[in-house]
Amino acid sequence: MAILRSLSGRLLVLTIIFVMLAEVFIFVPSVARFRAEYLQNRLQMAQIASLALLATPDDMVSPDLEKELLANAEVYAIALRRDEVRELVLMGDLPGPVEQSFDLRDAGALQLIRDAFECAMAPPGRVIRVIGEPTNNAGLAIEVTLNEKRLKHEMIAYGWRIFQLSLVISLFAAVLVFFAVRRFVVRPITGVIGAMTAFSEDPSDPKRVIRPSSRVGEVADAERALAHMQTDVLNALKQKAHLASLGEAVSKISHDLRNILAASQLMADRLEASKDPIVSRTGPKLIGTLDRAIRLCERTLAYGKAEEPPPERRRVALRAFVDEVAEAVGLANGGAVAFENAAPSDLYADADPEQLHRALSNLLRNAAEAIAASGRGGRIRVSARHLGDGVEIEIADDGPGLPTAAIKHLFKPFKGGARREGSGLGLAIAHELIRAHGGALELASTSTEGSVFRIVLPDAT
């Protein structure tokens, strides 16, 4: 029973069934043809008997010879129709009345099949009349009356032989299909399953990646798809292992950096007591920057990885906020990169200030570094507008634009860097932070004339 649950076993059974069904379309017409040929043979034997009678003087034979002629033809009576005259040539004792007549002269295939079914289903010993066309134009028609019993017996015996032959052919074809499927389908599939099992036991071993070898088209496609998938999994595992090592290193660095920043914060606190106007103006901003850095280190240590907490949203005045971010990344003091803040003074965003600060600073820093790397001056412009249920912020620059390779993996860490020495973390972090707000960060356009990033921040519900 186990083999019947396998692919090859089911194909074995289906092949037998389908071949037998195909044989039915051959079996039924062949049985009908056998019946027609049997009756036609009786007509020919009857014609020979009638010719023997006609060769005698006065068309007369002895009763014994008449019986012998009828017995050889296996009929009860023979009649010839010549010149529109029907003549009873030989006549024996009828066991009963004629129950059915069959005309073979104009019978089509469907008619012969129906007559054969009727013969098979009729009660045994039925007396029938058969009309046919004489050979060699010996008349208009020849009729015989006979008992259908032997015909039915011969027809069923012939059908049984055909059925046995069909069954043998079906079994032979099924066995051939079975071994062909085992050789060309099941064995390659079993190899694919074995490769999957071996790979699942140790996905980090590159030796366990399947090597496509099948010459069967579909199986070869499956092997190539599996090899591609296993390679992707292997690379993903390598990257995850790399990120895990990086996360451990970042945790260690964050621990030491937090201590350094805490010491720097203590020294920066003393600047608040300074009476120097420049120090008084820049001191609070320096302290705020150190506070954000310390909190980021603490969160990294708390989670063991750079996983962001849910945003703590509140109303943020965008114009003043953008100025603060630009000053933090060094864009407010002039230089090769000009900066324009076009955000309306009365526009507010519903966002976590620290997370939005990080997202915007990453975008502005990337734009400034791209312009600086081009070796020519440039401009960064931040604009914003109110949407129906939130705000939209655009960061536009006239830098060199993003390369195609960077666009493909734009928001993926370690893959979407626009510069060779970049890691792509800035855009990935910004994308994650905006998504945490239920918003979206997208590249609106990029070309050799510059790039535009768009942030959509919905209001909190």
pLDDT band at 274 (very low <50, low <70, confident <90, very high): low
Over pLDDT 90: what percentage of the chain?
15
Give the pLDDT of residue 416. Answer: 47
β-partners of residue 349 are 316
Centre a 10 Å sphere on the Cβ of residue 47 and count the other Cβ atoms it contains.
22
Candidate ranges 121-130, 185-194, 402-411; pick with highest mean pLDDT: 121-130
What is the Cα–Cα distance from 94 to 128, expressed in whole angstroms?
11
Give the pLDDT of residue 352. Answer: 93
- Would you say residue 196 has pLDDT above 50? yes
pLDDT (tens digit, 9 = 90+) per residue, 38-58? Answer: 998 988 888 888 777 766 666
pLDDT band at 276 (very low <50, low <70, confident <90, very high): low
Candidate ranges 120-124, 244-248, 441-445; pick with highest mean pLDDT: 441-445
The whole-number average pLDDT for the span 371-375 is: 82
pLDDT (tens digit, 9 = 90+) per residue, 280-303? Answer: 666 666 666 766 766 666 555 554
- Would you say residue 267 has pLDDT above 60? no
What is the Cα–Cα distance from 353 to 316, expressed in whole angstroms?
7
Greater pLDDT, 15 or 315 = 315
CB 244 within 8 A of CB 237: no
What is the Cα–Cα distance from 397 to 383, expressed in whole angstroms?
11
CA distances for 315 relative to 352, 353, 382, angstroms = 8, 9, 19
- Would you say residue 244 has pLDDT above 90? no
The whole-number average pLDDT for the span 216-236 is: 82
Greater pLDDT, 411 or 121 = 121
The whole-number average pLDDT for the span 379-398 is: 92
φ/ψ region of 304 (left if φ > 0, alpha if ψ in -120 to 50, else beta) reads left
Give the pLDDT of residue 455. Answer: 95
The whole-number average pLDDT for the span 362-375 is: 85
- Would you say residue 9 has pLDDT above 70? no
pLDDT band at 161 (very low <50, low <70, confident <90, very high): confident
Both tokens assigned to 42: 């009786």
Give the pLDDT of residue 45. Answer: 87
The whole-number average pLDDT for the span 202-218 is: 78
Please state the separation of Cα 143 from the chain's center in Å.
66
- Would you say residue 304 has pLDDT above 80? no
What's the whole-model pTM score? Answer: 0.44
Tell me the three-class secondary structure of the chain, residue by residue. Answer: CCHHHCHHHHHHHHHHHHHHHHHHHHHHHHHHHHHHHHHHHHHHHHHHHHHHHHCCHHHCCCHHHHHHHHHHHCCCEEEEEECCEEEEEEECCCCCCCCEEEECCCCCHHHHHHHHHHHHHCCCCCEEEEEECCHHHCCCEEEEEEEHHHHHHHHHHHHHHHHHHHHHHHHHHHHHHHHHHHHHHHHHHHHHHHHHHHHHHCCCCHHHCCCCCCCCHHHHHHHHHHHHHHHHHHHHHHHHHHHHHHHHHHHHHHHHHHHHHHHHHHHHHHHHHCCCHHHHHHHHHHHHHHHHHHHHHHHHHHHCCCCCCCCCCEEEEHHHHHHHHHHHCCCCCCCCEEEEEECCCCCEEEECHHHHHHHHHHHHHHHHHHHHHCCCCEEEEEEEEEECCEEEEEEEECCCCCCHHHHHCCCCCCCCCCCCCCCCHHHHHHHHHHHHCCCEEEEEEEECCEEEEEEEEECCC
The whole-number average pLDDT for the span 59-85 is: 79
- Would you say residue 445 has pLDDT above 70? yes
The whole-number average pLDDT for the span 9-33 is: 75
The whole-number average pLDDT for the span 21-32 is: 78
Domains of the chain: 3-175 (no CATH), 314-458 (3.30.565.10)
The whole-number average pLDDT for the span 105-112 is: 86
Candidate ranges 189-193, 331-335, 347-351, 447-451; pick with highest mean pLDDT: 347-351
pLDDT band at 260 (very low <50, low <70, confident <90, very high): low
Over the chain, what is the mean pLDDT?
Answer: 79
Over pLDDT 70: what percentage of the chain?
76
The whole-number average pLDDT for the span 75-81 is: 86
The whole-number average pLDDT for the span 130-145 is: 83
- Would you say residue 454 has pLDDT above 90? yes
- Would you say residue 356 has pLDDT above 90? yes
- Would you say residue 430 has pLDDT above 80? yes
- Would you say residue 306 has pLDDT above 50? no
